[in-house]
Each structure stands twice: as C-alpha cells, then as structure tokens.
C-alpha cells in the first residue's frame, strides 16, 4: 500500500503489519503531525539478517540516529550488509531505516535523501556532519 508522508508517497508492505490500512495511514498522519513519536502497530519481521536489522532500527528512539557501523558492530556484521538490509526494509517510516546514517553524512534512503533529512529534522535528530 502507498502512504503519504511529507508530501511523498512511500510503499509499505501492509501484509507485515497486523492492522487495517486505515489504522496504518492514521498513525502515519499522526506521526507527520507531531502527535505520535512511535507507532503502535504489531509488525511481522522477516527471518534472517534483514529482520535482525529491522529490530535494531525499531530500538532507535525518535530523535536519535545510529551509524551503519554501529548497527553492524552490534550484529557482528559489516556496514554495507546493514545498508543492504535497510534497503530491503518493507515497512519504511514505520520501521525507521531513516535513523541509520553514515558517520559524516546521511547516505542512502529509498525515499530519497531529502525525505530522510526531513524525517530526521521532524524528529529533532542531529544530522551527521552538521553541528
């Protein structure tokens, strides 16, 4: 299904969320309006490494970021593997892959770096490479 956030459409796999599309869209709208910091949705994570990375993403509080290297270290993997798993995230925004950044830059986001920046600024996160 498509959801709109900050004027951009994002495809999410609603089959991995135990909620009806109206509830999912409403929670995304509340997030965008600043009325919701976390999503109250039951998620079915994929098996394997992608699911592990998605769980790590979910553990990052709104307003904070982690680097690909930090997540890789926690999962005993490589930063590039974490980046690839982020790219396979079937539930962007709700599972916050935008909170994973490079050491000194935003780098990589399926919705585009402008949306990644906007999501992080919306959450009040410090952006890498900026004071």
Q: Is 97 a catalytic residue?
A: yes
Alpha-carbon 49 to chain mean position: 16
**Of 28, 72, 94, 97, which residue is the catalytic one?**
97
Question: How far is it, in rounded angstroms, from Cα 77 to Cα 22?
Answer: 37
Structure tokens that stand for 53 in this block:
């990375």
Q: 3-class DSSP state for residue 66?
A: strand
Cα distance between residue 117 and residue 123, in whole Å: 10
Q: Any idea which residues carry the catalytic annotation?
A: 97
């Amino acid at each position: 299904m498509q959801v709109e956030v900050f004027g951009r459409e994002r495809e999410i796999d609603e089959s991995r969320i135990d909620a009806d599309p109206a509830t999912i869209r409403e929670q995304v709208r509340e997030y965008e309006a600043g009325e919701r910091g976390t999503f109250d949705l039951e998620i079915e994570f994929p098996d394997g490494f992608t699911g592990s990375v998605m769980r790590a993403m979910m553990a990052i509080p709104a307003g904070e970021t982690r680097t690909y290297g930090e997540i890789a270290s926690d999962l005993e993997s490589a930063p590039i593997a974490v980046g690839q798993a982020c790219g396979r995230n079937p539930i962007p925004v709700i599972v916050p892959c935008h909170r994973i950044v490079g050491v000194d830059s935003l780098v990589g986001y399926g919705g585009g770096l402008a949306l990644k920046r906007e999501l992080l600024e919306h959450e009040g996160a410090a952006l890498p490479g900026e004071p």
